[in-house]
Amino acid sequence: MTDYRAPTADMLFALNHLAELPQVCALPAFTEASPVLVASVLEEAARFAGDILAPLNTVGDLIGTRVVGDQVRESSGFAEAYVQFTTNGWPALPCNPEFGGMGLPECVGLATMEMWSAANVSFALCPMLGQGAIEAIEHHASEALKACYLPKMISGEWTGTMNLTESQAGSDLSSVQTKAVPHLDHYKLFGTKIFITWGDHSMTNNVVHLVLARLEGAPEGVKGISLFLVPKYLVNDDGEPGARNDVYARSVEHKMGIHGSPTCVMAFGEKGGALGYLVGEANMGLSYMFTMMNHARLNVGVQGVALSDRAYQQAVHYARDRMQGQAPGMPGKSAIIHHPDVRRMLMLMRALSEASRALCYVTSAAFDHGHKALDPEVRASAMRRAELLTPISKAWSTEVSQEVTSLGVQVHGGMGFIEETGAAQLMRDARITTIYEGTTGIQALDLIGRKVIRDQGAALLSLLEEVDETAVALATDFPAMAASLTAASTEFRQATSFVLIHAGDHEHLASAVAYNYLMGAGTVIAGWLMARSALIAASLRHEDEAFYSAKITTATFYFDQIMPRAQAHFSSVSVAATTMMDLTVEQF
């Protein structure tokens, strides 16, 4: 696999101009942040990602993880890299200064997460889950739990996990059976959790598990789930780890990809009960867990961005060096990058990577405003925008990552099917991103049900007003782009109107059209951001002709070759396609 070099110029363009970082830094909570500081932070992060994490990517893929006795052993080199990661303060970047964090905007933290994930997604999953656990504890736990656990989790001295599902439950968390029994001032937990990312390792001296479980007599279904904090090692009065708790990794899964990330089966209470502490109120666990889930979903979206960009870099490097055939207009043999079909693939990879990055960064910046703006109305409006965009950012970015990483293999030709190039690993690693933290289907149901039908499209229509304003601004310099964006916005409105009017006509309608609705939504909203990037690049072109003209060309390509997909997706919505339900089970 080729070296990874973070595309800091592209990332800063998306942050500064599309996510409007200067406005984020102007919030009182971020008075010590500035675009200049952020640029410096990203340059340092790029060096760490490229020099320290990226060389371990293939190592993790080849070696994987294993259970030795009662302990998971991570891949060679990961522990040493993690020490450097925490020494440099990277886990604390977007965290609350009250508990030792640096207090930088969430969108800046997301940009560094893209770098970690592009360099070594297996490694990046560890701090990513920790950030989600930190969010949940900070928002919902008691002051005592915050004081005990947050400083060491924010420093990276301890890591965190999410323990949600079980073998019989899958995505249906109402079926969770792990139980919690009151014991003195805490609880004892009994049960088994599966698919626990970085559920155990030896890189730190404690792992903090957030666990969904049921109290005796709790209501059935999701209304009876509580959230518990269960440390691997109990914490002594001096704040240091003490006795081993009754929670163990019993196995790690043998997976298609992300081999360097231990996906654990976790056993609680095999030796008398795992001691845990109730987070917040009883029976509110699922609500609290969504604090983690939403954070994780956006981070998984940016994993899709990261793997897309890494695949693009890899493909460009190969296409420049691989000599084969005679391209039109070229004398003799030429590098395959001169062949039009290879250019088609590379431009698809480039455009989809840039568009998905813009989508995720803009979503993260909306959360910054939603969490930190002083005006309650501004906060509420920003949160509506962020929550609307989260399922789209997660699902669309990871779905297109499947396409981009697959194209990366195709650009390599036969060598792409050979593991030594690294192209296949990126495709294998990307495959999980559409599944964990809520499948694409679950994100689509969330979008169409909770984010569109519930408010009758109000948040979405507010966004589409901005899309239409951009289309008007495009008319002078980019008339074809303006016409395409206007048409796509109209199709989006028509599909939304159809859903709102007819969702009650057929019990399966909303679910049946949800995927195409989400993919159409992602295509249009990402296209809107690409259109904005073209307008911005045109105004800045005199500063750097090569960089900004490439932005304009990439946006033009997006509208020529990718935006037409929106019409196909929305057409599938508007015909109310429920034929997938027409066959009997026996006919399959």
Distances (CA, A) of 503 to 203, 321, 397, 512: 50, 53, 26, 10
- The burial class, CB within 10 Å (0-12 / 13-18 / 19+), for 501 is exposed
Site of tokens 């997706």: 569
Under a CB-based contact definition with an 8 Å cutoff, are residues 404 and 308 in contact?
yes
Catalytic residue from among 437, 466, 543, 586: 437
Which is nearest to 96 in space by CA: 155, 25, 140, 22?
155
* CA distance linking residue 150 with residue 129, whole number of Å: 14
437 is catalytic: yes
Q: Left (φ > 0), alpha (ψ -120 to 50) or beta: where does 260 sit?
A: alpha
Distances (CA, A) of 411 to 50, 243, 403, 414, 432: 23, 53, 12, 9, 22
Helix (H, G, I), strand (E, B) or coil at 211: strand
Q: Which residues contact 317 (CB under 8 A, 6 or more apart)?
A: 2
Under a CB-based contact definition with an 8 Å cutoff, are residues 447 and 518 in contact?
yes
- The burial class, CB within 10 Å (0-12 / 13-18 / 19+), for 424 is buried
Cα radius of gyration (the chain): 24
Q: Which residues contact 311 (CB under 8 A, 6 or more apart)?
A: 349, 404, 405, 407, 408, 423, 426, 427, 430
Residue 296: Cβ within 10 Å count = 26
Under a CB-based contact definition with an 8 Å cutoff, are residues 391 and 447 in contact?
yes
Active site residues per annotation = 437
